[in-house]
Amino acid sequence: MNNDDAFCTFDWGQKILPQEYREGQNAYFGKKGMSVLVGSFAWKDSTTKLSNTAITTTSLSPPTYSTESYIVAITDAAQTELDTLSAGEIITKQFKTDYPHIKKLHKRTDNAGNFSSHATPEV
């Protein structure tokens, strides 16, 4: 991975549901709630760090990595391809604004149908 590359993953989190105290499974499952899409990014930190391995020698330390995660909450989302693309575009645009030195993203997701289409937002 180069200094201007980042690895990103996207996944829908469990719905945020209104809940009663000690409700049974029949009351819990099938509820409508707020969906959250989580986008997590990791990239190589571009700062070079020196470490003293002995008093007389200095060597480069192994690279360090930075991480950042973003969450988009959507009310009444069906977690369709359109919902996924829209929320993913919001997350990607914000990441691009926050870290403009990143030029290339390596995106990975699970095999859910809403992630495995060919549509991709252009940001």
Segment 83-100 mean pLDDT: 93
Give the amino acid at 116. S
* The pLDDT of residue 5 is above 70: yes
Segment 24-52 mean pLDDT: 75
Instruction: Report the mean per-residue pLDDT for the chain.
Output: 80
Residues pairing with 66 in the sheet = 43
Question: What are the backbone angles phi and psi of residue 23, rounded to the nearest 5°?
Answer: -80, 150
| DSSP assigned state of 13 | P
- For residue 32, give the 3-state DSSP assignment: coil
pLDDT band at 116 (very low <50, low <70, confident <90, very high): low
pTM over 0.85: no
Give the amino acid at 44. K
Residues listed for the chain: 123
